[in-house]
Each structure stands twice: as C-alpha cells, then as structure tokens.
C-alpha cells in the first residue's frame, strides 16, 4: 500500500508577519543556538482518494489534525524535533472480497491516525525571520474503526464503582513507515515565542493492511495493553475458513440487524418482552450495526431492565450463600450465575470456532 497526504500551513499569514517591522523583530531576537523548543501544531489535511490492489479504494474527507513536539537547536540553523500528531478524518470505503472477486462491500466510518516522527529542520538565516526546509522519518498508526472478530468483555472490581464490566471491540488497523518533507517560513515573534508555517508532503508505506496492529502507535491509539501474536496464531488466521461458519456469521449479523430494524413492531416487542434479552456481545453488535438509529436505542432501552433484573437475582444468589440466612433460593436466583455468564459471554455452542475467531469472508462489522 502506498498513500500520501499534503498538508498546508497558513503561509500567507506567515509571509505577512515576515515583512512587518523587521527592525523591531531584529532587536527582540535571541539566538536559537543550544535552546529547547516546545511546539503546538495544527495539520490541515485535504480530501484524498487511495486505491489498493484488487479494486478496493478509500475516499477520506478534509480534516484538521493536532499535535505537539519537542525540539533542540544545535545552532541558529539546525534543529532536531520529535513530534506526535493525530487526526480523525471521516471516510467512505469500497472493499473488495478476498473470496468472491468482483464483489464489494461499502463502509463509512472515521479513521484514527496517530503519527510519531523525528524531524530535522534547517533555517537558512540566523535571524528572527527565516525560510526553512525540513525532512522527517517515523511511524504512523491507522485504525479503520471497522470491527474485527468478536467483542471482548472484561470485568473487575473497582473500589469506587464496585463491580464493573467493559467491552473492547478489535478493529482493522496497521502501523506504517512514514516520512515527510516540507518548506516554510519561521518568525520569532518574541524572545520566547515563535510561529512556523509550512507546505509539504507526507507519505506512508506498507505492503498490506493487517488486523489489528500491535505496535507502539497501536498502543497509543487504543490505550490498551500490547499482546504479541505468535507465528502459530498468524498461520491459524490465514487458514481456509469453514463455509458453514462463515454463513453462520452472516446469519448472526442479519438477526441482530432485524432486531434493530423491527424494534417498534408490537408482535416482536411482545416476544422480546418474554425473552431474557440480548447478551452483552450482541448488544454491542446491535449498537455498532445500528449506530445512531432509533431502533438501536429502543433495543438497548428494552434490554437494560432485563440486565437489572438479572443483577438482582444474582445478588440474591450471592447474599443467600451467607450461612446466617435461612431463606431458600428462588428458581430465578438458583440459575442466576449461569444466566449471568451467558449474558456476559454469550451462550455456549451457538456458533462455530471460525465465527468466534473471525472470518476473512465476512463483511466489516458482521
């Protein structure tokens, strides 16, 4: 994969500052040599279209990213800086099927892009106003925010909130080698404040997209824990997927979509009222597939009271294990721990291993 972005600073405004009151600026100027600098950055990105092998393509919208950096001036001309920046442009993607050539799936979401780079600046003039050139190397983490595999739920005891559960949904992501080059103008406005604007080219390269990335920038993007993947796991994920399991995964996604779509149907509402409600993984999937729709909100609002009822039964099951209490278990309390496990992790035996492990032929989010 090869892609690029063009970023443009406020160059016209900088040129205006450069010609304003040069004599006064020269008096306020203090040599940059052997000084540290801290920068707060804005990175406007224009619209772009990226094409991949097999016919897949992605169109990203314009966005303004932000960042910060720390640099050291070896002298008035040469500076080395370490910069971190991030942005979240929205996009529309057309994804080619690996199993059925000529078949495409469309998706819309928001990219998470984090970049860490070392940049070398050369200022041509040892003065308050100077043109400069720069070049940099580093790494870029990109997360498509398209679901990959099943959501993972973990629970722990919090000393303030009590027993807490949270769900993490893996997504397609990758880390890329990136580099940039730019030209611009620097203006030292005071002895301690400077402005810098540039126009340049930013590129990132990778041979293929993978899911999910495990690099340092992946950790920053997810604020998660790094988990190295063994060669055995990589080979397992590249195996031929069971067709029956792939079909079951498609059916599972359609059932959840139907639950979201027919949430206001009286007959369906009555049947759902008599049920035990969605488990946590399928509730999360419903929120993903029906993001922002009234049906998804209605489905979750009908599900929360069922979870609250199960919590009361589970609490009764726990309380009555106290040897000082003689009241017998109710039928609901006696099965509460089994229902709670199924509610958090899903009922066992419903879907095959290739479904729970993720399938290559599945559409994003399915």
Q: Is 115 in the same domain as 183?
A: yes
Asked if 320 and 333 count as a contact pair (C-beta separation under 8 A), the reply is: yes
Confidence (pTM): 0.51
Percent of the chain with pLDDT over 70: 73
Quick check: is 43 in a domain? yes
Which domain, by its residues, includes 342? 240-356
Packed helices 266-274 and 294-319: angle between N→C axes, nearest 10 degrees = 20
Quick check: is 195 in a domain? yes
Which of 192, 222, 252 is the last residue in one of the domains? 222
Condensed to tens digits (0 to 9), the pLDDT of residues 68-87 reads 999 999 999 999 999 999 99
Condensed to tens digits (0 to 9), the pLDDT of residues 83-123 reads 999 999 998 888 887 777 778 888 888 888 999 999 999 99
Q: Is 36 in the same domain as 142?
A: yes
Q: Is 310 in the same domain as 169?
A: no
Q: Is 216 in the same domain as 253?
A: no
Is residue 268 pLDDT above 90, yes or no?
no
Interacting residues of 175 by C-beta distance below 8 A, sequence separation 6+: 139, 140, 141, 142, 206, 213, 215, 216, 217, 218
Quick check: is 229 in a domain? no
Condensed to tens digits (0 to 9), the pLDDT of residues 199-222 reads 888 776 654 444 444 444 444 444
Within a 10 A sphere around the Cβ of 135, how many other Cβ atoms?
15
Q: Is 204 in the same domain as 300?
A: no
Spatial separation of the C-alpha atoms in residues 300 and 325, rounded to whole Å: 35
Quick check: is 217 in a domain? yes
Q: Is 253 in the same domain as 161?
A: no
Average pLDDT over residues 253-258: 81
Report the pLDDT value the prediction gives residue 292, as an integer from 0 to 100.
Answer: 75
Q: Is 207 in the same domain as 339?
A: no
Question: Considering the chain, what is the average pLDDT of its residues?
Answer: 75
Spatial separation of the C-alpha atoms in residues 104 and 242, rounded to whole Å: 21
Q: Is 270 in the same domain as 173?
A: no
Quick check: is 45 in a domain? yes
Q: Is 189 in the same domain as 253?
A: no
Q: Which residue has the higher pLDDT, 165 or 330?
A: 330
The total domain count for the chain is 2
Q: Is 29 in the same domain as 141?
A: yes
Q: Is 128 in the same domain as 189?
A: yes
CATH of the domain at 132: 2.40.160
Q: Is 115 in the same domain as 213?
A: yes
């Amino acid at each position: 994969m090869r892609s690029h972005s063009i970023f443009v600073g406020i160059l016209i405004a900088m040129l205006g500052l450069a010609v304003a009151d040069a004599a006064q600026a020269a008096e306020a100027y203090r040599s940059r040599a052997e000084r540290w600098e801290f920068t707060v950055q804005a990175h406007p990105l224009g619209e772009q279209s990226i094409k991949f092998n097999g016919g897949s393509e992605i169109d990203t919208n314009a966005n303004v990213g932000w960042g910060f950096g720390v640099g050291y001036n070896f002298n008035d001309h040469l500076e080395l800086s370490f910069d971190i920046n991030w942005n979240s442009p929205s996009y529309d993607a057309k994804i080619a099927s690996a199993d059925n050539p000529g078949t495409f799936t469309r998706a819309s979401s928001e990219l998470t892009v984090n970049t860490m780079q070392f940049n070398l600046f050369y200022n041509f003039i040892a003065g308050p106003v100077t043109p400069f050139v720069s070049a940099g190397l580093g790494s870029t983490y990109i997360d498509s925010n398209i679901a990959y595999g099943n959501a993972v739920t973990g629970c722990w005891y919090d000393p303030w909130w009590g027993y807490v559960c949270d769900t993490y949904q893996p997504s397609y992501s990758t880390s890329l080698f990136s580099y940039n080059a730019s030209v611009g103008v620097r203006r030292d406005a005071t002895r301690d404040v400077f402005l810098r604007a540039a126009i340049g080219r930013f590129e990132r390269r990778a041979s293929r997209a993978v899911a999910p990335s495990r690099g340092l920038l992946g950790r920053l993007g997810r604020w998660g824990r790094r988990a190295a993947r063994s060669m055995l796991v990589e080979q397992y994920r590249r195996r031929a997927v069971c067709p029956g399991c792939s079909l079951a995964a498609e059916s599972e996604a359609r059932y959840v979509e139907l639950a979201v779509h027919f949430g206001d149907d009286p007959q369906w509402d009555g049947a759902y009222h008599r049920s035990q409600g969605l488990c946590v993984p399928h509730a999360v999937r419903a929120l993903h597939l029906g993001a922002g729709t009234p049906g998804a909100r209605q489905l979750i609002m009908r599900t929360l009271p069922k979870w609250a009822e199960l919590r009361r039964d589970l609490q009764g099951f726990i309380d009555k294990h106290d040897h000082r209490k003689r009241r017998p278990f109710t039928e609901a309390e006696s099965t509460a721990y089994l229902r709670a496990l199924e509610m958090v992790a899903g009922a066992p035996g419903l879907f095959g291993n290739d479904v729970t492990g993720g399938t290559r032929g599945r559409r994003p989010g399915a």
